[in-house]
Structures are given as C-alpha cells and as structure tokens.
Amino acid sequence: MVTNIKTTGVNPPSDTSRLIPVPVRREIRDLQANFPDQWNLFILGLAAFQKLPASDPMSYYQLSGIHGRPFRSWNDVKGLDDFGDFGGYCTHSSVVFLTWHRPFLALYEQALYNAVQAQASLFPEAQRSRWLKAASDFRMPYYDWTQTASGIAYPDVFGAKNISVIQTDGVKRPVPNPLYNFNFRPAAAPANELGQWSTHSTTVRYPTRGDSDNGAVRDAIQNEYEHIRGNVALLLLQYARYNAVSNNRWLRNEKPGEYGSLENIHDNLHDTIGGNGNMSALEVSAFDPIFWLHHTNVDRLWAIWGDLNPNSYVEAGTTRQSSFTMAAGSTQDATTPLKPFWDKTGTRFYTSNDVKSTKTFGYAYPETQAWNHDTVPKYQAALVETVKKLFGDGNTVKDFLARAGAPTQRNFALARQVVTKDVELPDIMEKRTAPVTNDDEPMVGVSVPSAPPSAAGPKRRVLAPSDDVTPVPPVPEFSRAPAPTDDGPMVGVTVPSAPPSAAGPKRRVLAPSDDVTPIPPVPDFRRAAPVPHDDPATPIPPVVDIKQAQKPLAPGDDGEDIIVDANPIPEKFSNLLKEYRQWVANLRVQKHALNTTFRVFVFLGDFDPNPETWPFEKNMVGRFAVLGRGEDTSCAKCRNDQQEELVVTGTVSLTTSLLGEMVGGDLESLEPEVVVPYLQRQLHWRVQTITGDEVPRDSVADLKVSVISAKVVVGDDGIQRTGEWDVHTEVTDGRPAGLTEGDPI
C-alpha cells in the first residue's frame, strides 16, 4: 500500500497569523554574499539531493517530473477513473496556476531542507554546531531577474561549471556546480523517459555542442530585464483582480488593460533563460535547477501582490473539456483539489483556500515580513514603498529619468532596502484593502525613483568568461546612446573584434517592411563556442544594490529627496512628471498554434532580418513567449487546450523606449498625434519557434498585435491614476497579424 506523502513545507507554525515570524527565502545573490554558511549548505544539499535515485518519490528527478515528463503518476495519485492514460498535473493558463505551484515548491523545499540538514550533520563534531545552526532556518533562495548586481541581471554562479565550497570534512574544494545543470546519470534516470530530451545527459540552456551557453542567457536577459522590471511594477501596483494578474488566459472582457499577468512574465523568463534548452520546454523545464529559483520568485511576486490585494482571490470558472483530474463542466475555483499534494493530515489534497498564506508552509519573503509592523495598513503602506524601490513605481517617466541620470551611492542603498518602518499612507491602503468593486481601480502613486542605471545602449557580444578570469561587468550606458567609435576590449573579458574592414559601429540592416522582400543580413562575426568556467577567481563581495536589507531606513531617509543628480531636466520631460501617456503593445495568440514553444519579438526601429540575432537586438523592446506543446503531448490539459483553441495574452511596454526616442530627438512628445505616425513606421513584430526558425506572422492562428495607450495623471497626493485605455488600430490595421477595426479586444 502506498503511503500518502504529506506536503508540509518546513516547520510551519501552528499559528499562521500576521504577527508570527517565520524564516525568509532570500535572493540568491544575497544568500551567497551575506549568509555564507547557508550558501555553502545550499550547494552541498542541492548536490546531494540531485543524486538521490530516480526511484525515490522524494528525489530531485521524481519531484521535477511532477511538472511534466516523464508523465507518470506521482505517489500513486490517480486522475479520473475513466480518463485512461496518465495526463499530468499541469495547471498552466488556469486560475490555479499560482496556487498549484505553491505546494509544489513547498514539497521541493521540504526535500531540499532535509538534504541540507543531512549535510550539516556530517561535519566534524568540533564544527557541527556551527553548521546545524546555519541549517536550522534555511529556506530555498529565489532568483530575482528584475534586479542587477554591478549592472548584470544574470548571476555568474549560474554559468560556473564548478564551485568551491567547504566540504563535510571541513576542507574547501571545488565541486561540480549543481546550479549549472542537472545530470541525469548519477540519479540513474530511466532511459528514454524524456522523449526527444533523452538525448541530453544534462539539462541545457541555449545548447551549443551539447553544453550550455550561459553567455547567451546573460545577454538575452540583459537585453530585456528593463521591460520585465517595468511589467512587474505595473502588475503589482495597477492590477487589482486575481484572475487577471494570475494567469495568461484571454479574458475576453473587452478590457485592453488586462492583457498582462504574472504567468505571462513567467513564460517570458522561461523562454529567455532556456533559448532552445530545457527551460523553454515546459514538460522538461523543472529538471533545470534554475527552474526552482525562477518559480520561487514568481511565488514571491504573488505573495507581495496578495498582501496588497487581500480581498481578491480565485474566481470560479467552468472547465470546457475533461482533463486528467477534472471532468468537463465541473467548476474550477478556490476549493478545487491541487493534486497531487496531500495536506499535513495526508487525507485530503490542498485547495487554493489552504495555500493563500506562505506561512502555511513555513516561510516568508524579505518584503512580506508583516510582523515588523503594528497594523495591516502600516504594513501594506510600507510594502508599497518597497515595491516602488525594487521595481519602480509604475511612473515610467520618473523611473526613466532616475535611471538615465547618475544616481549616488545613497540612491543605490535606498533602491534595495525593504521598508520595515511604518509609513503613514492610510488613504492609499484603504483603497487597496477595500473589496474590489471597480475593475479599473487607479494605480497607487509614487515619489521615489529606483534602481541603478541599466547596461543599455549598443549591445556587445561577449564570450563566456574563461576559467581563470573574474568577469568585469560593463559600465552602465545611457539608453540608446550612440555607438562608440572605438570599441576596445573590456578588462578581463574577451570580446570578439569586428572584421578589419568594419570602421566604427556595425552597419545596421533596415527592418524589412511588411510588403518587401527581406534584405539579407550583412555577414557578421558570431559568438564563439562557450567556455564553461569555474567559480570566479575572487570571492563575490556583498553588493549594496542586491542585498535585501532587513533593517529600517535611517531617520529622515524616506527617499523623498532623491532626484536625478544630473543636468536640469529638459522642459519636454519635466512636463511629463505630472501627466503623461503610457504606451503598450498587447499580443494574443492560440497557445498551441505552432505545436511547440514560440515567441513574438517586438521591435522599435531597424533590426537584423536574421532570426538568430533577435534575442540580442538593441531595438528589440520585448518578447511574448508562448509555451506551446505538440499534438502528441501526453499533457492532458494541453490536449484539451488544443481542442478548445485556447488563446493566451501578454504585453510589451513601449513607453520607456519611446522616452529614449525623445532623448534622441526622434519624438517630441508621447501624445498620439506624434507617437502613432512613429509607430506606424517603426513598430515591427516577428515570430520565431524554439528552434530559431521564423514563421510568417499571418500563418499563426489567432495572432493579434495591437497598440494601446492611456493618460496617466500624478496628483499632488502622489497617487498615480490611469485613465481609460485607447486602442490605436491605425498602427496595426492592414499589417500581418495586426488588430483591425472591429476585432474583439
């Protein structure tokens, strides 16, 4: 008889009320830099966890398999009696997308925690108490892809093939880095269980000659993290309905301002990290170690949003088709069983109602330590301030100006602190905690710019760091700065040189118009084969712009006096600080239109017609990743979604890029009479599959690209209010896959 495995998380408190403290999950760079013993145990524990035999239901292999392949029932949790073959527990594009993944992560953390405790107990007796103490409140880390350390958004540790840690004998030695990949061989994973992915003995990212090209991952994320960060700020501060913010299913509610979602951002990061590797294919993505840190960050963003919007939760819906665990016509709501996760009694499955609080599983995040505040309104007000400091305030103009200037060291410190002092904003929080009755609730306003400047401007293709060199990050450049005429190599980094005949910056190839044969690209140098590197030659010091500080701001340091420390703001920008127009590209498409993962790249300006370059193009302003499946998929919900012709949505913010054009003199304002003609000339979109092949836009089922804008007004009270969204069909009408007049929104 199979014993029901209980999903408990790690030492959850019996009292989960607001004032009861619990350990926090930390950002991976914070854990590495500031909690070295826990970091050491994390690496040891993860390595040991990954080696557990695949036959163990609590092994890394089997827990990862819950997410998709090998499509076997876990812990003998069955589906409907008459369904037939196992169809998986997949919950993507569903109102329970976020809630299902929370116990999934808790179960993984439970197993990882046990591995960490086991490693701590193996240290010599004289050292053991030190390691057991560090292990006692360990929680798994997350990877916040919206933050940078020294201007780089992708941590070096993910690309290090080996890493030095103190072994259980007390001696520091290099070991294979368990964050670099997952090796299927030590776990004795059954052959051919992963379909076409069985040809790889390890997980891969942007695979090149059987190995990962983490330099490509870094470049791709660096090219998009500004867009990602802005989308996160808008979701956390503007969206007030759970069903809109939680998943990417097209709501069909004629509300153009609800095309974004946490799942949309989640999908984009899956694809940006994976390239054509594991993370881009949902059925095998959970085997990549970065999957767990990525999903933990998604859970963190939901935890933040949930505490700001406690009265909005899972809304009921009816399933159109039968799936492995649900019959057609049944209701999917907050009481739907989240299979295969048994609760702490082992007699029933968790439901969404059970997992609303992270304390159910014994953890919190640096931002959600509500016990540091006397009242809920004070906590929520401080949480709003933290969101503004971490992700921006949703005021695109103010954030743009702050990041384009020369922030002081104080700016960096404030931009990375969690606000733990009480902030008196009762009027704002009263609006956020009231029952949701208006779907178009105004966005909470802000007055504090955040985050250091990005490494924007011309993109330089950089080889993977060699084994014996510590990479030196690039100097942050102003957005869309002119290309340097003397692009010398960076210190400590090998940079491929341009062909001898190339004088000055690389010649740009104009983007092909919709009715003209594409111009072949100018021959260009290509990225050399990756050179996997060992861990950095020098220790990574604490960095102020990533540390998730858990201490109050100094008296008077409320951030209100942070202004761009540069030249006076030009009049055409200062006029936008109180009122401006936000611009967004909305995209929707049948999720399984191409029977595989694909992405729609959005460009503002010229770009190389060669699809290989698109993830790294300077003028690529965002992607809409769609994690589709093939017709032969074993995923039951995916098959149903195919039959239903499920349509998913996503967004790409255009405002920051348009502000860059104002700096360059190509635009005089953000008003429609100026922006619409510009977008008619400069807005482009192209479709690419996971294999890198271009697909004609008008051949992709239900693909529709539209442009919307709304007036944003910042009141004297600092509250930002967004007006009605206007749909500008004149930008896309008559273009392949463009929204035309009369199309549904």
Q: Does the structure show a pLDDT above 60 at 60?
A: yes
Q: Token pair 């594409």 is at which residue?
A: 518
Q: Does the structure show a pLDDT above 80 at 151?
A: yes
Q: What is the pLDDT of residue 317?
A: 72
Rounded Cα distance, 739 and 728, in Å:
9
Q: What's the pLDDT tens digit per position in 326-385?
A: 655 667 899 999 999 999 999 999 999 999 999 999 999 999 999 999 999 999 999 999
Q: What is the pLDDT of residue 253?
A: 79
Q: Are 540 and 33 in contact (CB under 8 A)?
A: yes
Rounded Cα distance, 642 and 128, in Å:
54
Q: Token pair 């997949």 is at which residue?
A: 90
Q: What is the number of helices (H) and of strands (E) in the chain?
A: 19, 16
Other beta carbons within 10 Å of 174: 13
Average pLDDT over residues 674-702: 95
**Percent of the chain beyond pLDDT 90?**
54
- Pick from 160, 256, 97: nearest CA to 464: 160
Higher pLDDT, 330 or 55: 55
Q: Are 383 and 43 in contact (CB under 8 A)?
A: no
Q: Token pair 């698109």 is at which residue?
A: 614
Rounded Cα distance, 363 and 106, in Å:
9
The backbone torsions φ and ψ at residue 546, rounded to the nearest 5 degrees and listed phi first, read -125, -20
Q: Sorting pLDDT into bands at 50, 70 and 90, what band is 436?
A: very low
3-state SS, one letter per residue, for 206-229: CCECCECCHHHHHHHHHHHHHHHH
Q: What is the DSSP string of 95-112?
A: TTHHHHHHHHHHHHHHHH
Distances (CA, A) of 664 to 44, 92, 669: 50, 41, 12
Q: Does the structure show a pLDDT above 70 at 448?
A: no
Q: What is the pLDDT of residue 463?
A: 32
Could you confirm whether domain 28-375 is CATH 1.10.1280.10? yes
Q: What's the pLDDT tens digit per position in 382-413?
A: 999 999 889 876 677 877 777 665 333 323 33
Rounded Cα distance, 274 and 269, in Å:
8
- The answer to whether the Cα torsion of 142, 146, 149, 152 is positive or negative is positive
Q: Which of 349-363, 380-394, 444-458, 698-712 has the lowest mean pLDDT?
A: 444-458
Cis before 340? omega within 30: yes
- Pick from 192, 139, 191, 466: nearest CA to 303: 139
Q: What is the pLDDT of residue 508?
A: 38
The backbone torsions φ and ψ at residue 463, rounded to the nearest 5 degrees and listed phi first, read -70, 155
Rounded Cα distance, 158 and 343, in Å:
33
Q: What is the pLDDT of residue 694?
A: 97
- Pick from 532, 608, 619: nearest CA to 215: 532
Cis before 70? omega within 30: yes
Q: What is the pLDDT of residue 620?
A: 96
Q: Token pair 């974004």 is at which residue?
A: 260
Q: For residues 180-190, b (16+ Cβ closer than 10 Å) or e, as one string?
A: bbbebebbebe
Q: Does the structure show a pLDDT above 50 at 506?
A: no
The backbone torsions φ and ψ at residue 92, rounded to the nearest 5 degrees and listed phi first, read -75, 155
Rounded Cα distance, 573 and 10, in Å:
50
Q: Does the structure show a pLDDT above 80 at 38?
A: yes
Q: What is the pLDDT of residue 325?
A: 57
| Residues recorded for the chain | 745
> What are the boundaries of each domain within the chain?
28-375, 575-732
- Pick from 616, 597, 595: nearest CA to 607: 616
Q: What is the pLDDT of residue 665?
A: 87
Q: What is the pLDDT of residue 485?
A: 32
Q: What is the pLDDT of residue 200?
A: 84
Q: Which of 546-550, 604-608, 611-615, 630-634 has the lowest mean pLDDT?
A: 546-550
Q: What's the pLDDT tens digit per position in 96-107?
A: 999 999 999 999
Highest mean pLDDT pick, 218-232, 466-480, 638-652: 218-232
Q: What is the pLDDT of residue 57?
A: 96
Q: Are 429 and 609 in contact (CB under 8 A)?
A: no
Average pLDDT over residues 585-604: 91
Q: Does the structure show a pLDDT above 80 at 507?
A: no
Q: Are 323 and 640 in contact (CB under 8 A)?
A: yes
CATH of domain 575-732: 2.60.310
Mean pLDDT across the chain, nearest whole number?
A: 78
Rounded Cα distance, 386 and 365, in Å:
12
Q: What is the pLDDT of residue 555?
A: 33
Q: In what order do the strands lie in the sheet with 160-166?
A: 172-176, 160-166, 533-534
- Pick from 563, 459, 548: nearest CA to 505: 459
Q: What's the pLDDT tens digit per position in 667-679?
A: 999 999 999 999 9
Tell me if residue 373 falls in helix, strand or coil: coil
Q: What is the pLDDT of residue 418?
A: 65
Q: What is the DSSP string of 482-508?
A: PPPS--PPPTTS--PPPPTT--SSPPP
Q: What is the pLDDT of residue 196?
A: 75
The backbone torsions φ and ψ at residue 253, rounded to the nearest 5 degrees and listed phi first, read -110, 15
Q: Which of 84-93, 150-159, 339-348, 617-626 has the lowest mean pLDDT?
A: 84-93
> Which amino acid belongs to residue 623?
R
